């Protein structure tokens, strides 16, 4: 057990999060301290940080990073940045400096590797060129469909395997919530910039249910789906049919997600999916014939028993299939997932291999004409690495960008949805969460409805 006494701080949270990048949770303790080091405290494996008493958090974190690196022999490429949104401080610098200056400053301030700093530079370049200023007077709408055909081993989302009658019962309540939230939006003059229906897997619903859902959103918010960025996840290819995609396309939806995670059949079986790579190819074929403008595909780096060649083959096929938007995720092993239960320390393994996968994805996607346009990180990701969204120029998702900026209200409807109200005057977000379990959502539906009023206090 290592003990780190951090001098001249009131809260050890940021330092604890940095230590977690290097050491297991049960392998260290960070302690807020004030004063001179006391000899009896500094026994074996105890260290005193910030002896000079600096009150600059970033300076203290840089000292702590170097100490942790010396102890463990590793230098995590994101340096002292531990937050979900590494682009956020980069864009703040870009408000006053050039992108080139930002890259230099962020490397020095946060000890980023050259490759990660240049990645932030590339994303900032794309957003500054292709994305207009944040429309605070508009909102995003997220709707959760908490059902999947099976539950993946790494999944910690609001996702359930449930019979068809449960789908219908849930949908009936969701339609009421959409109507109520739409009326409040109209009364308060709230317009939508983008709509995202996720989950779970929305295409677990049948064609008739999807039509009722999309039509209710269109009516409640007075929008034409073909005139707004409107995305529906069809992530699991075993839920895709020509009838469902025809329905979505006819209603004006132009963007869907088909999320293979891997194109290796053995991996798909291992993570709990009941489809194979041919089903993914068939899903793409149907979507192309139907005429969708943008197909997003997700791949995960670090899936069990996959090597660099496996990942390369999956990515090459996604590029060959022509997905306009490809998100490369680093595997995150979260509480509530089967993988976490079976191997709690899995996310501390294979960091070098996964880092090589991310480097390879950057090289391959750049060569194929894709640009990185958004980025985020999660806890318990292998190697404390990142997720990056890539797109063909102009095919980015404004919803993905806004959700990472944290500077726009997101109205969240359905089980598992987490809404956010943005207060621009003090640059503050207020979270408004629905319950995650679809049965509890129905049982407490009146409460779910009343929470919608909190968006318009």
**DSSP codes, 271-313:** TT-S--HHHHHHHHHHHHHHT-SEEEEEEEET-TT--HHHHHH
Mean pLDDT of 229-233: 97
The set of residues, in sequence order, having a beta carbon less than 8 Å from that of 190 and lying 6+ positions away, is: 138, 139, 184, 409, 411, 455, 456
> What does the block give as tokens for 67?
């100490």
Mean pLDDT of 412-432: 94
| pLDDT at 345 > cutoff 80 | no
Mean pLDDT of 256-265: 95
pLDDT band per the 50, 70, 90 thresholds, residue 341: low
SS3 31: strand
What is residue 376's predicted lDDT score, i.e. its pLDDT? 97
Residue with tokens 């009343």: 450
Compute the distance between CA of residue 327 and CA of residue 341 in angstroms, rounded to an integer: 26
> What does the block give as tokens for 366?
């750049």
The residue among 416, 429, 328, 381 whose CA lies nearest residue 145 is 416
> What does the block give as tokens for 57?
């958090």
Cα dihedral 126, 130, 136, 137 in deg (nearest 10): -160
What is residue 312's predicted lDDT score, i.e. its pLDDT? 98
Residue 438 contacts residue 166 (beta carbons within 8 Å): yes
More reliable by pLDDT, 457 or 404: 404
| pLDDT at 436 > cutoff 80 | yes
What is residue 274's predicted lDDT score, i.e. its pLDDT? 85
Cα dihedral 112, 71, 381, 374 in deg (nearest 10): -10
What is residue 209's predicted lDDT score, i.e. its pLDDT? 98
Compute the distance between CA of residue 28 and CA of residue 180 in angstroms, rounded to an integer: 49
Mean pLDDT of 61-69: 98
Cα dihedral sign, 261-265-266-271:
positive
| pLDDT at 336 > cutoff 60 | no
Quick check: bond before 200 cis, omega within 30?
yes
Q: What percent of the chain has pLDDT over 70?
A: 94
What separation in angstroms does the CA of 355 have from each of 108, 359, 365, 378, 404? 22, 6, 15, 15, 22
Mean pLDDT of 25-33: 93
Compute the distance between CA of residue 185 and CA of residue 31 in angstroms, rounded to an integer: 46
Residue 406 contacts residue 422 (beta carbons within 8 Å): yes
| pLDDT at 342 > cutoff 70 | no
What is residue 133's predicted lDDT score, i.e. its pLDDT? 79
Lowest-confidence region among 32-46, 65-79, 253-267: 32-46
Query: Torsions phi, psi of 4, nearest 5?
Result: -120, 115
Compute the distance between CA of residue 189 and CA of residue 135 in angstroms, rounded to an integer: 14
Q: What is the pTM of this model?
A: 0.93
- Mean confidence (pLDDT) of the chain: 93
What is residue 284's predicted lDDT score, i.e. its pLDDT? 96
| pLDDT at 344 > cutoff 70 | no
Lowest-confidence region among 25-39, 137-151, 266-280, 336-350: 336-350
What is residue 39's predicted lDDT score, i.e. its pLDDT? 65
SS3 449: helix
What is residue 127's predicted lDDT score, i.e. its pLDDT? 96
pLDDT band per the 50, 70, 90 thresholds, residue 272: confident
What is residue 149's predicted lDDT score, i.e. its pLDDT? 81
What is residue 3's predicted lDDT score, i.e. its pLDDT? 94
What is residue 267's predicted lDDT score, i.e. its pLDDT? 95
The CATH code of the domain at 138-443 is: 3.80.30.20
pLDDT band per the 50, 70, 90 thresholds, residue 337: low
In the chain, where the domains are located: 1-72, 76-123, 138-443
What is residue 161's predicted lDDT score, i.e. its pLDDT? 78
Compute the distance between CA of residue 190 and CA of residue 302 in angstroms, rounded to an integer: 41
> What does the block give as tokens for 337?
């997932």
The residue among 373, 390, 377, 415 whose CA lies nearest residue 197 is 415
- CA count, 13 A, side-chain hemisphere, 230: 20
């Amino acid at each position: 057990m290592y003990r780190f006494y951090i001098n001249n701080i009131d809260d050890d949270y940021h330092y604890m999060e940095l230590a977690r990048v290097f050491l297991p949770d049960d392998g260290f303790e960070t302690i807020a301290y004030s004063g001179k080091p006391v000899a009896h405290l500094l026994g074996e494996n105890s260290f005193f940080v910030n002896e000079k008493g600096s009150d600059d958090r970033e300076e203290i974190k840089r000292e702590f990073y170097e100490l942790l690196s010396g102890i463990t022999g590793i230098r995590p490429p994101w340096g002292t940045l531990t937050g979900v949104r590494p682009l956020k401080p980069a864009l703040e610098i870009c408000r006053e400096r050039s992108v080139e200056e930002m890259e230099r400053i962020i490397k020095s301030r946060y000890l980023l590797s050259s490759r990660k700093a240049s990645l932030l530079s590339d994303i900032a370049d794309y957003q500054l060129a292709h994305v207009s200023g944040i429309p605070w007077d508009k909102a995003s709408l997220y709707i959760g469909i908490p059902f999947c055909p099976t539950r993946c081993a790494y999944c910690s989302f609001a996702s359930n395997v449930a019979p068809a009658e449960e789908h219908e019962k849930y949908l009936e309540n969701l339609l009421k919530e959409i109507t109520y939230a739409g009326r409040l939006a109209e009364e308060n003059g709230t317009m939508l910039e983008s709509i995202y229906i996720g989950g779970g897997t929305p295409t677990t619903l049948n064609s008739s249910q999807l039509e009722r859902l999309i039509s209710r959103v269109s009516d409640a918010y007075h929008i034409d789906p073909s005139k707004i960025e409107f995305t529906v996840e069809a992530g699991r290819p075993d839920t895709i049919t020509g009838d469902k995609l025809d329905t979505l396309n006819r209603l004006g939806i132009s963007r869907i997600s088909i999320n293979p995670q891997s194109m290796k059949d053995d991996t798909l079986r291992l993570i709990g999916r009941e489809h194979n790579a041919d089903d993914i190819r068939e899903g793409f074929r149907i979507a192309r014939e139907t005429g969708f403008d943008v197909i997003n595909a997700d791949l995960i780096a670090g899936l069990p028993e996959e090597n660099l060649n496996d990942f390369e083959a999956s990515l090459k096929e996604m590029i060959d299939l022509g997905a306009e938007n490809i998100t490369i995720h680093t595997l995150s092993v979260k509480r509530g997932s089967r993988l976490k239960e079976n191997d709690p320390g899995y996310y501390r393994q294979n960091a070098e291999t996964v880092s090589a996968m991310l480097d390879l994805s950057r090289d391959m996607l750049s060569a194929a004409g894709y640009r990185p346009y958004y980025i985020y990180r999660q806890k318990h990701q292998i190697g404390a690495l990142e997720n990056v969204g890539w797109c063909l120029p102009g095919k980015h998702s404004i919803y993905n960008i806004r959700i990472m900026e944290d500077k726009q209200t997101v109205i969240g409807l359905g089980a598992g949805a987490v809404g956010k109200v943005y207060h621009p005057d003090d640059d503050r977000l207020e979270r408004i969460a629905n319950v995650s379990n679809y049965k509890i959502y129905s049982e407490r539906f009146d409460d779910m409805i009343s929470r919608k009023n909190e968006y318009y206090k």
